[in-house]
Amino acid sequence: MPDSRRAAMLAALRSVGAEGAALTAGPSLQYFTGWDVQATEHMTVYLVSEAGDACVVTGLDLPSAEADLGGRAKVFAYRRGEVEATFRAALQAAGLAGRAIAVERLRLRACEEDALRGGGAGELLAADGPLATCRQVKDEGELALARRAAALGEDAFRAVLPAIRAGVTEDEVALRLEAAILQRGGHLGPKRAAVLTGARSAYPHGQPGATPLCGGDLVIIDFSARVGGYLCDITRTLAVGAVDPSWQPVAAAVLAANRAGVAAVAPGQSCRAPEEAVRGVLREAGLEEAFVHGTGHGLGLDLHEGPSLSRASRDTLQPGMVVTVEPGVYLPGRGGIRFEDNVIVTATGAEVLTTLPRELIQVPGD
Ligand code: GLY
Ligand code: MN
Ligand code: MN
């Protein structure tokens, strides 16, 4: 992990008045410490401190944690009945006993919070925003992984496309896509591929189920693949056989909105600009009310991270950010269309990572 990340993190901690941080399994732990560990029913708490890092794991995880961390942190293992004493020892080793400690409120679990307080931590200060901000601008290594994730995800999608037709269920499409990602050496993202057919394609979010694709359906496929920790987040919309012709102008409007949103991605530009561009196109087409979410979000080790491309955003696009542009139109009871692309902000404009067609992709309806 580059020293610059640690320096940025320590500055973020100071900005909230904390002297150290307590991180749990997740993207920030991976980014700042290089430790990629899964959350389980056991506690894993990593203490970052200028005095030296320490971490607490369950006894079973002690050997793997020591091997993974290679001496970067002093590792303490807790046993049932000794949780507070173990956390007390770790906090003391990190020089954080009684000190204000930054935490991610979106990640820290109640059991971990209790253990920190019981072990003698001082105030626990929310630092989700400042820590996430450190991760927004990616270095060249991270951008290379983002490109590979998008290329691998698209390759998997293309490989699966010939098997998608009427009669196949949402679940089967998702499974094929997930298998194709794994076969290409990718890992799966944090959510299942959302394959939503017919009226279900009007759900902005959803899980694939046993519903079969039928002639006349629209199908939204929103999927992610992970390479070296970094994610792509891609959505395309399929037409199963002949769909109602009234969808064609909707698809054209979503495509135009997507193009306008991507064109508004540039360094120094407000993160509200792509949203305004997308909304402008959909308003003109009389479809703004059917666009029920923001235009996009940052993408990296987490599927949804900063900056937000929405009306409420106060951020500015900077070279090295990776964002999605994902306008959609959702007509409840009928269906929806979304085209989601992944874009790197460059020094001079934008590099679009996604190349799959941004039109209704035709698959057989019988
Ligand atoms: N609308 C879901 C997503 O791609 O973020
Ligand atoms: Mn997205
Ligand atoms: Mn998505």
Q: What's the rounded mean pLDDT across residues 271-289?
A: 98
pLDDT > 90 fraction of the chain, expressed in percent and rounded: 97
Across the range 290-295, mean pLDDT stands at 97
- Cα(213)–Cα(180) distance, integer angstroms: 20
222 lines ligand 1 (CB under 6 A): yes
Ion ligand 2: residue ranges with CB closer than 5 A: 233, 324
| pLDDT tens-digit readout, 297-315 | 999 999 999 999 999 999 9
204 lines ligand 1 (CB under 6 A): yes
Residues 6+ apart with CB under 8 A from 190: 224, 302, 303
Report pLDDT for 319: 98
Residue 163 DSSP one-character state? G
Q: pLDDT digit string (tens) for 14-34?
A: 999 999 999 999 999 999 999
As a whole number of angstroms, the distance between CA 347 and CA 137 comes to: 12
Which atom of ligand 1 is least distant from the CA of 340? Answer: 4
**Amino acid (1-letter code) at residue 90:** A
* 340 C-beta closer than 6 A to ligand 1: yes
247-263 and 272-284 helices, crossing angle to 10° = 150
Secondary structure class of 98 (helix, strand, coil): coil
Task: Considering every ligand atom shown, identify the ligand nearest to the alpha carbon of residue 221 and give its number.
Answer: 3
Residue 144 pLDDT grade (very low, low, confident, very high; cuts 50, 70, 90):
very high
Domains of the chain, earliest start first = 3-134 (3.40.350.10), 140-363 (3.90.230.10)
CA of 258 to the centre of ligand 1 (A): 14
Residue 216, sorted as left (phi over 0), alpha (psi -120 to 50) or beta, turns out to be left
Residue with structure tokens 């390759």?
155
254-282 mean pLDDT = 98
> What pLDDT is recorded for position 2?
67
How many Å from the N-terminal Cα to the C-terminal Cα in the chain? 53
**Rounded average pLDDT over 244-272:** 98
Q: Which amino acid is at 366?
A: D
The Cα–Cα gap between 160 and 167 comes to: 15
pLDDT band at 327 (very low <50, low <70, confident <90, very high): very high
Range 232-248 average pLDDT: 98
| β pairing state of 53-58 and 73-78 | parallel
- Average pLDDT (58-64) is 94
Task: Indicate the average pLDDT of the chain.
Answer: 96
210 has a pLDDT exceeding 90: yes
Query: Residue 296 CA: which ligand 1 atom is closest?
Result: 5
Nearest to 334 by CA among 153, 203, 183: 203
Classify residue 160 as left (phi > 0), alpha (psi -120 to 50) or beta: alpha
What's this model's pTM, rounded to 2 decimal places? Answer: 0.95
At 17 the pLDDT is 97
pLDDT of 9: 95
Give me the mean pLDDT over the 92-109 stretch: 97
Q: How far is the CA of 327 from the centre of ligand 1 (A)?
A: 10
In DSSP notation, 203-247 reads -SS----SPBP-TT-EEEEEE-EEETTEE--EEEEEEESSPPTTH
pLDDT at 188 over 80: yes
Q: Rounded CA gap, 63 and 75, in Å? A: 9
On whether the CB atoms of residues 295 and 307 are closer than 8 A, the answer is: no
DSSP state of 349: S
Residue 1 confidence (pLDDT) above 70: no
d(CA 259, CA 286): 17
Amino acid in the structure at residue 160: V
Q: Is 233 in the pocket of ligand 1 (CB under 6 A)?
A: yes
